[in-house]
Amino acid sequence: MSFRSLTFKLILAFLIVSLAGAGLSALLARWANGRAFDSLVLDQAQAAFISEVSAYYEATGAWQGVARVILQRHPAPGRVPAGGRGAPPGEAELATSSFSFVLLDQNRDVIVPASGYRLGVHVPAGGPAKETAVEIGGQTVGAVFATGQPLTLDPGQALYVARTDQALLYAALIGIGIALVLGGLLARTLVRPLAELTAASRALARGELGQQVAIRSSDELGELADSFNQMSAGLAQASELRRQMTADIAHELRSPLTVITGYLEGLRDGVLKPSPARFEVMYGEAQQLQRLVEDLRTLSLADAGELPLNRQSVPAGSMLEQVAAAFAHRAELAGVALGVDPSATGAGIDLLVDPERMLQVLANLTNNALRYTPAGGRISLAALREPGAALREPSAVLLQVQDSGEGIPPEVLPHIFDRFYRGDPARSAAGGESGLGLAIARSIVEAHGGAVSASSAGSGLGSTFTVRLPV
Ligand code: ADP
């Protein structure tokens, strides 16, 4: 455990807090207890003193000689009278003593001296000390007051004080011990998840993706662990996507390059004779490569949020007409009826879009529809306001490409917008299918703030692709 570790700091903090708490409460308890005990002892000693002098007065009927008797019974501690231990006090002790109580007679003259009050001195009434009258048979014969001199405790009392001090010390030590154990436990519960997180993020930094840590609590540390897990899973997923994407790109580049290289080798070695048909094949493959590169560029721009959009106001109807016209010839060759839906021509609807990009989206969708619709089928293009949107003023416009083709199986539907995804892997790039068409359509629509979706009633029942653009 280093001096800079959290465990050390926490235990130190607990130690300081418990030391301060225990020390302060021990001092307070000692002080309060000591005061109460002192005044109790003083009261008791004073009562004993009064009853002693009263007994003397009752026995002799006067105060004569009381000092000698009292001081002989209670010699000052550590002071041996001139006549030896147990001898009556000498004149010096009689004149003054270190006794804690003063006895005055009726004339307020000192008859039992104590420190500061010599024998025979007159003490005027109304002094600061609290006096107690000595009464014999209903008559006041004297007064007693404490000098404020600290009492010497008898062995029993001294033992009580020592025991109390000891108990307070033990209580403080136990308190500190508990605080240390608690501090250690808390430090452990805090430090363990943190250490796990540190180890996991170090492993992540070393490139070991997919790190997960245990979530041990539902507090802030638990939240931290949870968000770390999410981040780690996200990183692993992104890395897997990137890896997959690179593999897909390599795969897509390979077949056109193989064809071109094969032809070029044959021509170079004289095995093949140059002919317009052979150049046409090579040109087609080169174009395929060019399209792929262009598609990847569009996707990466869209990913970075940097797809330049040249937004203009365009009538939706004219966009549909342009697409229909562009594909009319191919549709005719394929024996498919292609046209704008007469009930949703988009008349009166203007779109604020980049016309070139949006035409690319519609062309991709129409291209797919043509590809998956057999002869005798029908493709209709439509533009309409979102149904039910008339109430809410800022509404959306829907552009739809609907075909009566082979449809999309439900298990395929969730993936068709993924990059390089082909519903039927057997269909190759030879047909101009890169598996990027829908991914690009989605990127462009999303760059416009819209969304694109697909629905299909099932195999053989046609598909509908819908672009939703907020107005
Ligand atoms: P591709 O270049 O393979 O057409 P796309 O991204 O355009 O790639 O489409 C992905 C997949 O979605 C296709 O392989 C196909 O399975 C499915 N799909 C797209 N459009 C249609 C459609 N109109 N009818 C049926 N399936 C479709």
pLDDT digits (tens, 9 = 90+) for 369-401: 999 999 999 999 999 998 875 565 568 999 999
* First-last CA distance in the chain: 63
Determine if ligand 1 sits within 6 Å of the CB of residue 440. no
- Joined tokens for residue 352: 């604020």
**Model confidence pTM above 0.85:** no
With contact defined as beta carbons under 8 Å apart, do 123 and 108 qualify?
yes
pLDDT score of 370: 95
pLDDT at 215 over 70: yes
Give CATH 3.30.565.10 domain extents, the chain.
312-470
> Please, which residues have CB within 8 angstroms of residue 8's CB and are 6 or more apart in sequence?
1, 2
Higher pLDDT, 466 or 67: 466
What Å distances lie between residue 248 and 58, 335, 424, 435, CA to CA? 123, 34, 15, 10
- pLDDT at position 89: 72
Whose CA is closest to 340, among 313, 318, 367? Answer: 318
pLDDT digits (tens, 9 = 90+) for 174-195: 988 888 898 888 888 888 899 9
Atom of ligand 1 nearest to the CA of 372: 24
Of ligand 1's atoms, which has the minimum distance to the CA of residue 405? 24
Q: Give distance in angstroms: CA of 368 to centre of ligand 1.
A: 6
Cα→Cα distances 171→25, 34, 186, 210, Å: 10, 17, 22, 52
Average pLDDT over residues 450-469: 92
Which residue ranges does the chain devote to CATH 1.10.287.130? 220-303
- Are 338 and 328 contacting, i.e. CB atoms less than 8 angstroms apart? yes
Q: Answer yes or no: is pLDDT of 45 > 80.
A: yes
Q: Is 463 in the pocket of ligand 1 (CB under 6 A)?
A: yes
Instruction: Name residue, tokens 């003490």.
Output: 123
Mean pLDDT of 14-32: 87
Predicted confidence (pLDDT) per residue in 98-127, tens digit:
778 889 998 899 888 887 888 888 888 877
Residues pairing with 383 in the sheet: 345, 399
> Closest Cα partner for 89 from 106, 110, 113, 107?
113
* Residue 368 Cβ contacting ligand 1 at under 6 Å: yes
Amino acid identity of 192? R
| 72-86, 403-417, 457-471: range with lowest mean pLDDT | 72-86
Q: Is there an atom of ligand 1 within 6 Å of 351 CB?
A: no
> Ligand 1 centre from 175 Cα, in Å?
74
434 lines ligand 1 (CB under 6 A): yes
What's the CA-to-centroid distance between 36 and ligand 1, angstroms?
95
Q: Is the CB of 369 under 6 A from ligand 1?
A: yes
Q: Determine the average pLDDT of the residues in 329-356.
A: 94
Q: What is the pLDDT, as a whole number, of residue 230? A: 96
CATH 3.40.50.970 fits 220-303, yes or no: no
Atom index in ligand 1 nearest the CA of residue 417 equals 6
CATH topology (fold) of 312-470 = Heat Shock Protein 90 (3.30.565)
Beta carbons within 10 angstroms of residue 240's beta carbon:
12
pLDDT, mean over the chain: 88
